[in-house]
Chains A and B, each alone.
Chain A
Amino acid sequence: MPAAESAATTTQSAAPGGRDPAGWPLIALLGNPNTGKSTIFNRLTGLRQRIANYPGITVEARQGLMVNCGRTMQVLDLPGTYSLSATSPDERVVIDVLTGHGGQPKPDLVVCILDATNVRRNLFLASQLAEFEMPVILVLNQWDVAVRRGIAPDPRALEHALGVPVLTTVGTKGHGLAELRQAICDSLAKPRRMRRIEWQQATLEAGETLRAAIRDAGGDVTLAEAHRIIFDSRSAIRERLPVDKDRLGELVQEARAKIRRSGLNPAAAEAILHYAHIDGLLADAIRGSRAMIRGGDESIDALLVHRVWGSLIFVAVMWVVFQSVYAWAAPFMDLIDAGTSWLQETVGGALAGTPVFASLVSDGIIAGAGGVVIFLPQIFILFLFIALLEDSGYMSRAAFLMDKLFGWCGLNGKSFVPLLSSYACAIPGVMAARALEDPKARLTTVLMAPFMSCSARLPVYVLLIGAFIEPVYGTFVAGWVLFGMHFVGLAVALPLVWFLNRVVLRTPQLPFLLEMSSYKIPDMRNVVLKMWEGGREFLLRAGTVILAFSVIIWALLYFPRDPSVATRAEEAFVAARSSEVGAAQAAAELADPASDSSVALAHAIDGAYLEQSFLGRFGKFVQPVFALAGFDWKITVGVLSSFPAREVIIATLGIIYNLGDDVDEQSEGLRGAMAAQTWPDGPRAGQPVFTVPVVLAVMVFFALCMQCGATLAVIGRQIGWSWAVGSFIGMSALAWSGAVLVFQIGSFLAR
């Protein structure tokens, strides 16, 4: 489908929601959470969709294209919201789009998706929408469930009462979608506006008076916007007005006083009047549609949120999720790893004629791309589980169970899944934090994720504990140290998060209101699309940044590569070998490229190049700073080189200790070489470099440092680059301080 593809490319380049020259109509989908809105969006647009990012805030509305009655149309899936009071970033985007301030013109048509099993509450949002006097279609989704439970409203009566088309759909099965497409075409040709609430006199006058006053002050708002300003103390509309803040505050107070004098509490007036409007106007249509909690849901909840059984089931579910992200992904990751190595060797071999280019392609680009792709299995698996948990209705129960544990430091129950999965890998964890509506909790969950001990830290722990703790203190202690290392980040992060939320970000916390909707069988189309979306977002948004990091670090490790370094290393090696076995024997060994000596020579040359590289020199230069933590220059270079990806340290140490890069955390050679390291000079000359305090200091450094370009990139995309850079610097400082503290205290105790 070339037409559709070229159309999709066009939107890719357009600003979020920006109308393109073709003049495609913009259709916005609006609705409460859990109405099946996204399923309908997926049905309408198929895979021709992407996430439209709104600059400066962490809200993502999905945008897609559909071809309908011979025209291309843009479809915008707005974040699910219960009302138009613009307090959370999600709601802000909704109000901005509806008032034409979302960096785009107003939508040509709003399709408002209602949950047919709970029409009354869902109509509250629709009733607020009606005030904006836009063309509207109402869709009663999950119609089959409502009919089966005998609580379906009468769509004809609704249509008659509201004056707009009312359709019934079963999004998961695609029922009613053809009719919806047709209704969209009809409405674009002949727009119909929804009957709006008739405010009682005082509210109407208050709105008109405020509107006139704003106009006098040089602003311009509609009556609907004026009412939003009166009813929402922090409305997004309010901030956009060119009116002096204090003056506007007075005007709003006057308007609210007018409403109060009419006998209504202005805080509650809007909801009371809208619900009265809904109840009065729709008495006939929703008479038989009184929503109620299903007995089945009640029985499931009796088990799933039970004090004992609910907690046990929760632990079991989370264990499965964690194990899957951790273990199921492993074979795929190994496969990607093997594929990357194979490609590196093949391409490196083919380009052997130009060593610089060969190294750039195989060690810089292919290694970098492999380092991106390797996270895909974990992202897919985590998003599979998140989609299943969300669509089934269990996620809100999990948040309910966990909320108390997280509330004290400003997080909430929904932080649990992102943080748990960060123990496997922070990247899917950061991405999963999108599910948190409360902006403060979302921000802090993202900032906390890289402190969780991800699986890339494990090789470092295994190497150091295996080489230095286990031989001295035994397996039992080694196991406990490994276990304890997994909590270092958490223990440091929790007080910081508390401090950040209670002292730094002193914006009020939103109430943690959680709808515990009916249990459902997940819609597999939705599940697969969520996985696909997670993977694609990661590749598109983070992949490029990670690749760039990887190439930069490669260059710092490769250049300047003065050939005299190799010559000197070779001379030194030959001299040393000659003095051991005689010059003739040494020359004979080196004549055979497969001999142990030749391999050792190649490793020695690699080591010398690394030492003389920009990063190697930089490492030596800054080593005094790390000396406070007991690091020699080799550890320092290893630590610095692993900033783009912490697992790289193993290979770097292999090169530094002249063992080549083909070592892993179990290598006896690497463990032996590290144990044999002694300080060449200085106060500790002759003593081993790796003492227990040094080993612990290195591990604490890794536990607290964000040595992961991929995480940095994902955080930057998610909550903004200033936060990403800030947390990177903050974590680096914490890691250094932690390492210094551990080393100094450890050395003092060991004395």
Chain B
Amino acid sequence: MIAADATTTGRPVHKKRFMTHAQQGAWTRALLMGIYVAITAFPFYWMFITAFKTNSDLYTLSNNPLWFNELPTFGHVIYLFNSTRFGTWMLNSAIIGVVVVLITLAISTPAGYALARLDLPGANQMGMAIFATYLVPPTLLFIPLTRVVYFLGLQNTIWSLALILPTISIPFAVWLLMGFFKNVPREIEDAGLVDGCSRFQAVMQIVLPISKAGLAAAGMFAFAISLQAFLYPLVFTSSTAVKPVTLGVVTDLVRGDIYYWGELMAGALLAGLPVAILFNVFLDDFVEGITGGAFK
């Protein structure tokens, strides 16, 4: 694998051998990656094929499990939408996700900007302190938080999640945005001020548009956090109608000890796919946000 260095920095003296070496390296890499990806992407294939198999196909042991032995069916998907609250769960997740993004950006953007640009004494220490709370895992907080949520009268509502989930995204987003705002050249902002903008206008019209990759990364992170969350939904919500989709699928499609695998996999696929696509669209922004912003 270290051959990667050799191929990119090959000595010019051996130009001819270097070329074949590079090609060989590329194909070896493609093969190794192919094997790795085939193994790690298998669960998605397995979700897909299970979601569209009939029950008799799924539970006949002599069948080849890797392919359709009977005609594919939309039965599980139809069941999800007609006989479960799958649509409600998706809607709950979307509402929670959007509210969490809005709260996160509304609170983190001013904080990140002020800590990065306003020369506040102790700004770096404050930024660090806020970031430190990102490392306090939900496991340490969920028991007392159930009481806090109860006290606020939010137990068993989607608003409990809209309120609590930003505690995971805000610390990270403040840190991420601090990094982004530090990278906006002061001269550009000052040019706006010289131009007669107020500070607020300079921020709105110059700094924020330049930092849109950072804002996208922070928003994306907040959205992902709210969709990924499992422990908080598990302890704050109990009624079918208020569950987010990740919780609804894995708890409500199991009756007693009976797992409805066709419905479970159809639900996992339909809920997981949009998230995966969204993530892929924003992936580069996100990686830039983390590596370029926070850990430069």
Binding partners A and B:
no
